[in-house]
Structures are given as structure tokens and as C-alpha cells.
């Protein structure tokens, strides 16, 4: 299993969730975060003075899934999270991390089956 961590713009959340749903990923965790990338923030005028804003708000989307589908999911996520016709600076990043195990607490079952959903209708439960 792998965890895909995507740092995205708020406005792309619905599209990103749609990709995970289509690909059969059983769940997702979304957190409000602040960060900066290669541009290291930007400078803004505040009451006449230049203020350096180094961290901007983004969403961190974490989803654990079966290793076999990671490549497809990552490619689709990158497309879903991109803005404009060719992408914009600050559109975000995707990281892939190895996951040793997963447990569904309700049943005690372990392993890849716990991070897969067979039916869309199961979402929300
Ligand atoms: N190396 C990194 N480690 C952890 N988080 C990162 C890293 N790079 C980017 N991020 C996160 O992703 C967000 C968006 O990054 P961003 O898209 O600006 O990356 P970039 O490398 O600067 O690419 P671009 O040149 O397209 O802007 C950052 O605000 C930060 O939260
Ligand atoms: Mg950047």
C-alpha cells in the first residue's frame, strides 16, 4: 500500500475527491495547511509597507491505497489539481509514501482490502 499526499489549492478539492472516488479509494483525510514551494512566498503591500508573506493556505489531501493503482491515481490527481490551461506556479505537489499496514477498526481486518471500496454507495458511512 501507498499513501498519496497531495498539497492542492482549495478550489480543486472536488475534482481531486472525484478522482479518488472513481479509482476506488476507500477514504480520504483533508487538512488545512500552510506552506511554500520553490518561490518561497511573495511580497504584499500592507498599509503602505511591503510585507513578506512566506506561507500560503493549501489543502493537504491524504489517501492510502493499493500500490497497483498509485500510478494511475497520481497521474489523474495531477491533472485534476492543475489550474489554467497549462498549470500555474503554486498548483501544488504530490508525494507517494510507503504504508506498512492498515486496520479497519470496526472489524479488526488488516491489509489492502481495508483501503478499497467496491461500491460508490458505500461512501459517507
Ligand atoms: N518539498 C516540499 N515538501 C513539502 N511540501 C512542499 C514541498 N514543495 C511544495 N510543498 C507544498 O506544496 C505547496 C505548493 O507548492 P508549489 O506548487 O508552489 O511547488 P513548487 O515546487 O514551487 O512548484 P511551482 O514552481 O509550480 O510553484 C507549498 O505551499 C507547500 O505546502
Ligand atoms: Mg511554487
For residue 97, the ligand closest to its alpha carbon is 1
pLDDT computed for residue 119 by the predictor: 63
pTM greater than 0.85 (yes/no): yes
Q: Please, are residues 82 and 15 in contact by the beta-carbon 8 Å criterion?
A: no
Give me the torsion for CA of 74, 77, 79, 80, rounded to 10°: 170
Residue in 69, 85, 67 with CA at minimum distance from that of residue 77? 69
Distance from the alpha carbon of residue 40 to the mean position of ligand 2, in angstroms = 7
pLDDT computed for residue 120 by the predictor: 56
Q: Best of 4, 6, 7, 33 to mutate for ligand 1, by most ligand atoms within 8 A of CB?
A: 7
pLDDT by position in tens, the chain (length 125): 999 999 999 999 999 999 999 999 999 999 999 999 988 877 778 889 988 878 999 999 999 999 999 999 999 999 999 999 999 999 999 999 999 999 999 999 999 999 998 765 444 55
For residue 93, the ligand closest to its alpha carbon is 1
Domains, the chain, ordered by start: 2-122 (3.30.70.120)
Measured from the CB, is residue 37 less than 6 Å from ligand 1? yes
Amino acid at each position: 500500500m501507498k499513501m498519496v499526499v497531495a498539497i492542492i489549492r482549495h478550489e480543486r478539492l472536488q475534482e481531486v475527491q472525484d478522482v479518488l472516488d472513481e479509482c476506488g479509494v476507500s477514504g480520504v483525510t483533508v487538512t488545512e495547511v500552510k506552506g511554500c514551494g520553490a518561490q518561497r512566498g511573495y511580497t504584499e503591500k500592507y498599509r503602505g509597507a511591503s510585507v513578506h508573506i512566506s506561507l500560503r493556505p493549501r489543502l493537504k489531501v491524504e489517501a492510502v491505497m493499493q500500490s497497483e493503482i498509485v500510478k494511475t491515481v497520481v497521474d489523474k490527481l495531477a491533472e485534476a489539481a492543475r489550474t489554467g490551461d497549462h498549470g500555474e506556479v503554486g498548483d501544488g505537489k504530490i508525494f507517494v509514501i510507503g504504508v506498512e499496514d492498515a486496520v479497519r477498526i470496526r472489524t479488526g481486518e488488516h491489509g489492502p482490502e481495508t483501503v478499497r471500496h467496491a461500491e460508490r454507495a458505500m461512501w459517507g458511512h
